[in-house]
Amino acid sequence: MVDLRARRHGAGATTGVNLVVMAYADRIEVDSDGAITAHHLDVRVHPADRRAPGETDLALVPHTHGAQRVGYESSARYTADQFGAIESAAGNNVVVLLDERGRPIGAAYGVKADLLIADGDMVVNTKALAATALSVDVDAAGNDIRVQIRKSVAAAEAAKKLADQRNPRFTAYTKQEALSSEG
């Protein structure tokens, strides 16, 4: 889960965040009449947002947290009206998500929003949505937004690993272990 605490990103770290909202076709709830009542959306900080560099996870909901509740990883529940607000705010900043065989499986929407905590998850405040200048379309290298997210996370993980190698963390668990490791 992305770390948007003020001590890391400064005051206002959860306001005006550029987001990628991924709506997968199979992550919906329907009523008895077949009308969609809810969407389980996978929302990530856009990899070009100022808060993305150094983050080893850009998801608003922890990887398994959403799966434990509703069966979908990194997803939170949004009503049909909330999803409509996201679609409206994104405008033309939307791209179809394809599986490895080129079949459509959902869509990615680019929005800018404030974030809230609801039921222990970080979620989009759908009453504070706006368009974002950051595109969710393929980048200059031809990478779709999911690949761009993975590359941003991989770069952060590599940097963290390098920093840990340069500055090993103290790993003694007890005072006795710490004293004995001094030689």
Each residue's pLDDT tens digit, 7-18: 566 677 889 999
Polymer length of the chain: 183
Distance CA 85, CA 91 (A): 10
Closest to 152 (Cα-Cα) out of 56, 59, 61:
56
DSSP class of residue 33?
T
Q: What is the pLDDT of residue 67?
A: 45
Cβ distance 183 to 81 under 8 Å? Answer: no
Q: What is the pLDDT of residue 172?
A: 58
Distance CA 143, CA 139 (A): 5
Q: What is the pLDDT of residue 175?
A: 61
Q: What is the pLDDT of residue 55?
A: 87
* pLDDT lower than 50: segments of the chain: 65-67, 183
Q: What is the pLDDT of residue 66?
A: 45
Q: What is the pLDDT of residue 126?
A: 96
Closest to 20 (Cα-Cα) out of 49, 56, 44:
44
pTM, two decimal places: 0.83
Cβ distance 42 to 74 under 8 Å? Answer: yes
DSSP SS3 for 72: coil
Task: Give the position of tokens 């389980």.
Answer: 40
Residue 106 makes CB contacts below 8 A (sequence gap 6+) with 22, 23, 24, 25, 27, 96, 97
Q: What is the pLDDT of residue 143?
A: 94
Distance CA 24, CA 58 (A): 18
Distance CA 1, CA 74 (A): 8
Closest to 116 (Cα-Cα) out of 36, 15, 47:
15
